[in-house]
A and B are shown apart, each in its own frame.
Chain A
Amino acid sequence: MTTLADRMEIKKGIAVSPGISIAKSLIIDAEDYRIPRRSIMPSQQDAEVERLKNAFKSAVDELTGLMSTQDQAQGGKIKDIFAVHLRFLHDRGLQKKITDLIRSESVIAEYAVSAVLREVASHFSKVKDAYISERAADIYDIERRLLKLLLGKKREDVRYLTEEVVVVARELSPTQTAGFDRRFVKGLATDAGGRTSHTAIVARSLGIPAVVALEDFTEVVDADSIVIVDGNRGIVIVNPDEQTVRQYERYARDFAELTHRLDAIKEDPPVTRDGVRITLLGNIEFPEEAQMVLEKGGDGIGLYRTEFLYLNRDTEPTEEEHYLAYAEVVDALGGRPVIIRTMDLGADKFTQSKRLAPEPNPFLGLRSIRFCLQNLAMFKTQLRAILRASVKGDVRVMFPLITNLQELKQARFLLRDVMEDLDDESIKYNKDIRVGIMIETPSAALTASTLARDVDFFSIGTNDLTQYTLAVDRGNELVSTLYSPADPAVLRLIRGVIGDAHKAQIDVGICGEIASDPEFIMLLLGMGFRTVSLAPPMLPEIKQVIRSVTVEQCNHLAREVLKMNSERQISAYLRNAARKILPEAF
């Protein structure tokens, strides 16, 4: 059994969150299990082998039990799969191989199980016969089953960190990242993902560097190795040599200094050189981040994502839990606007677990507002809490993924319903609460003039709008180069929405990741945005750019860009313009 050589390896991916971090790797697989390569004393080997034997026995018992509960009619196929797993577990060579590894390298059972089974799986997947190569998936399943039994109660996962780590995974889901503790998670590196994947968004909110689309990083890095994440250049280095470490420590210091200098302009208002005041808001995913928005000089919260309330739990959140989360942020913001977005979950464990059969195309399926409109009790709970919190400050409610007027009307109807309930119960709320929607689908963008008549504001969600307009999955690393909000088609749609909003005299803001990119802010201002909401760590830099330009310049730039036909041309033009304004930041 060969172990990976401790060679330094440099991998290139997409930089999605700036900064430098040097820490130990923590590899998460889909089940959140950490696979530590821990050594044991020779005297502990017998105990470890015994643990392994027990885990095998329990796994066999589990599978036998599962098989007996599957009746032939429905579960015939599933029964066969369990039969195969059982057969594998009984294979005389397997347990011996793992036991041998425990003894020869003096490592814990979990590591040996993982190492041996992954090697077996990789041999299977190389066989030409499709039926056999698919058995690799069964091997991974057995690995998970054994690891679950071994790790049992003392699960070493992301929630029990005691030292700084760089989290490495194939990709990261909202469920997994909800547990991240900023004190210990210092960087992210994933195989999959793109500029607006969940990994990117979380990293930016936490203010830690992240590199995605590394393709096969999880295969190259060993557990507990030293990893450098360069979120500025999109590079990850595993097992760096001394010289590289020193070099990066220097970069890290320089970068910290630049951040510091930007923090100094915290008190200065985001006003352009020709006196136009821009409203700078922050996107947050958790109540704790509200503080950071204020620290970085934001004027309020432009997007309060509420999904965290539904994740990592078995039951729906109560009205009180909703209310406390909203009240906390509203209090912290002291009168500054807080735009709360109703539940936008989809293609996630929460909505999928309620289904009898998983949706084949969850991103286009029953998610977000659609899910809410079919789960009225749950939706009303959230609306009640938002309304109750609205007496504490400037709370605004925003509905995501609206695709047509009907949906909007239904949502507003429900809101009125909830208001009447509160009236009956003599519970106070802001009767004039402002209601807005996210424009993030082509249909909404194209019919914005109709929708504008029924709302108080729009917020353009460029992440999803770009995805749906260009028909590109923003989390798919294979097409991540096709995804760009600077695409002429997307810009044209955005321009249309802004025009419709202005005609209807309603506010239109932008809250996609594009707003946190300094290269785009001039274009956004030039297109007519006066409200932008972005990831808090980037607030100072965006403010810096705003304070360095005139709206005149921005208008000119936008006019030029909107004449262009290619995304590449547009990106290059914007990059050049940005460099001229803020040479040291680019």
Chain B
Amino acid sequence: MRTGKGSVEKLVCEAEVEIKNADGLHMRPAMQFVDVANRFSSDVTVAAGDNIADGKSIMQMSMLAATCGTRLKIKAEGSDAQKVVGALRELVEEKMFGEPPRR
């Protein structure tokens, strides 16, 4: 449940991750990313080069079309900012969206 501005600590957490799976951030990975981000209450923005996308929007994330090797800057703002960044990093770099890595 959201509380008013100023009454809850607004944490900011940032991290940089690298897309490791061979096919990059196509539709399926983008959906997984957005699903994870939506589990948390913080706002999530993702930057790939000059493009910035709302990490909770499938439309915007799929348009990033980030290929294997792209570095994404994830920024989260909110009470669970740290948690969401951690979960996303795990998804991208460790789980690699459950897909094969670059050969």
Contact = CB atoms under 8 A, between A and B. Distances in A.
Please determine whether chains A and B interact with each other in the same assembly: yes
B56 A92 contact: yes
B46 interface: no
Given A87-B31, A93-B54, A129-B65, 8 more contacts: A84-B27, A88-B59, A91-B58, A91-B59, A92-B57, A124-B62, A128-B65, A129-B67
B26 A87 contact: no
**Max chain A Cβ within 10 angstroms of own Cβ: one of B54, B56, B57:** B57
Nearest to B61: A91
Interface in A67-95: 83-84, 87-88, 90-94
Interface in B1-30: 24, 26-27
B26 A88 contact: no
A131 B27 contact: yes
B65 A127 contact: yes
B65 A87 contact: no
B87 interface: no
A123 B63 CA distance: 8
A87 B54 CA distance: 15
Contacts of A129: 24, 26, 65, 67
B65 A132 contact: yes
B60 interface: yes
B34 interface: yes
Given A84-B31, A128-B65, A132-B65, A120 B26 contact: no
Contacts of A93: 54, 57, 59-60
Contact of A132 (B27, B34, B56): B27
Interface string B56-92: 1111101101010000000000000000000000000
B58 A132 contact: no
A84 B58 CA distance: 9
Contacts of B31: 83-84, 87
A92 B65 CA distance: 19
A87 B63 contact: no
A135 interface: yes
A114 to B, nearest CB: 16
A163 B1 CA distance: 53
Interface residues of B, number: 15
Contacts of A128: 65
Contacts, number: 41
A90 B31 CA distance: 11
Nearest to A129: B65
A94 B59 contact: yes
Interface residues of A, number: 18
Contacts of A94: 57, 59
A447 to B, nearest CB: 54
A155 to B, nearest CB: 28
Nearest to B59: A91
A120 B63 CA distance: 10
6 pairs of A and B residues whose beta carbons are closest in the complex: A129-B65, A93-B57, A131-B26, A87-B58, A91-B58, A91-B59
Given A87-B31, A93-B54, A132 B59 contact: no
A124 B31 CA distance: 16
A92 B59 CA distance: 9
B60 A132 contact: no
B55 to A, nearest CB: 11
A205 B24 CA distance: 55
Nearest to A83: B31
Interface in A118-150: 120, 123-124, 127-129, 131-132, 135
B37 to A, nearest CB: 11
Contacts of B56: 92
Given A91-B59, A94-B59, A129-B65, A135 B27 contact: yes
Contacts of A90: 58
A131 B26 CA distance: 7
A272 to B, nearest CB: 67
A91 B65 contact: no
Nearest to A96: B57
A110 B65 CA distance: 29
Contacts of B62: 124, 132, 135
12 contacts: A84-B31, A87-B31, A88-B58, A92-B54, A124-B63, A127-B63, A128-B65, A129-B65, A129-B67, A131-B27, A132-B26, A132-B27
Contacts of B24: 129
B101 to A, nearest CB: 18
A286 B96 CA distance: 62
Contacts of A131: 26-27
A129 B57 CA distance: 19
Nearest to A138: B27
Contacts of A91: 57-59
Nearest to B53: A93
B36 to A, nearest CB: 13
A444 to B, nearest CB: 50
Contacts of B34: 87
Nearest to B23: A131
Among the interface residues A87, A90, A123, which one has the most CB atoms of the partner chain B within 10 A?
A87
Contacts of B57: 91-94
